[in-house]
Amino acid sequence: MDIRSIIGPPIEDVMRYLLSSFGDDRVAQAVDAYRSDYGTRGLLLSELYPEIRETLVGLHSRGIRLFLATSKRETFARRILDNHGLPSLFQGIYGSVPGAGLDHKPELLAHILRDTGLAAEDCIMVGDRKFDIVGAHANRMHAVGVLWGYGSREELELAGADLIVDAPREVASLAG
């Protein structure tokens, strides 16, 4: 199975989908097993896509405020950014938190807007999957789809992305 197409949604949704073909409903156990491996080993394997560091540094140096919005556990996201020496570029790092109801992008982005006081029309959500586009539009944010991740152009177009870009440098030219 090519698992690339199932990467992006909250891990509970991924596990529910994977287990359903076996008639297995032990989603919570599967998620626990996954997180125990990912939290000790998997997250250390994450690599930056080409041009990402330069793009983030460039945006930050122009005074553009960067926030991370991920369905991953927030603690994992922080450690991944730490490993790459990137946290100082972000004004906020937001992800899922146990029991907080922030796993899906519509709720997560609504929470970020409330927490920061930012106006949705001043924000651009940048993401690689339809979940990012739909979450942005549910909050009246602009949504830019990127093609270096796990989603296809077709998926991002169908989700209604306002713009689709091929390379990080194109994101840099949008902001500001």
Ligand X SMILES: O=C(O)COP(=O)(O)O
Binding site for ligand X (CB under 6 A): 7-8, 70-72, 127
The nearer residue to ligand X, 71 or 139, going by C-beta atoms, is 71
The nearer residue to ligand X, 62 or 100, going by C-beta atoms, is 100
CB of 70 to ligand X, least distance (A): 3
* Residue with smallest beta-carbon separation from ligand X: 70
Query: What is the chain written as a DSSP string?
Result: --GGGG-SS-HHHHHHHHHHTTT---HHHHHHHHHHHHHHTGGGG--PPTTHHHHHHHHHHTT---EEEEEEEHHHHHHHHHHTT-GGG-SEEEEE-TTSS-SSHHHHHHHHHHHH---GGG-EEEESSHHHHHHHHHTT-EEEEESSSS--HHHHHHHT-SEEESSHHHHHHH--
CB of 127 to ligand X, least distance (A): 6
The nearer residue to ligand X, 55 or 70, going by C-beta atoms, is 70
CB of 72 to ligand X, least distance (A): 4
The nearer residue to ligand X, 7 or 119, going by C-beta atoms, is 7
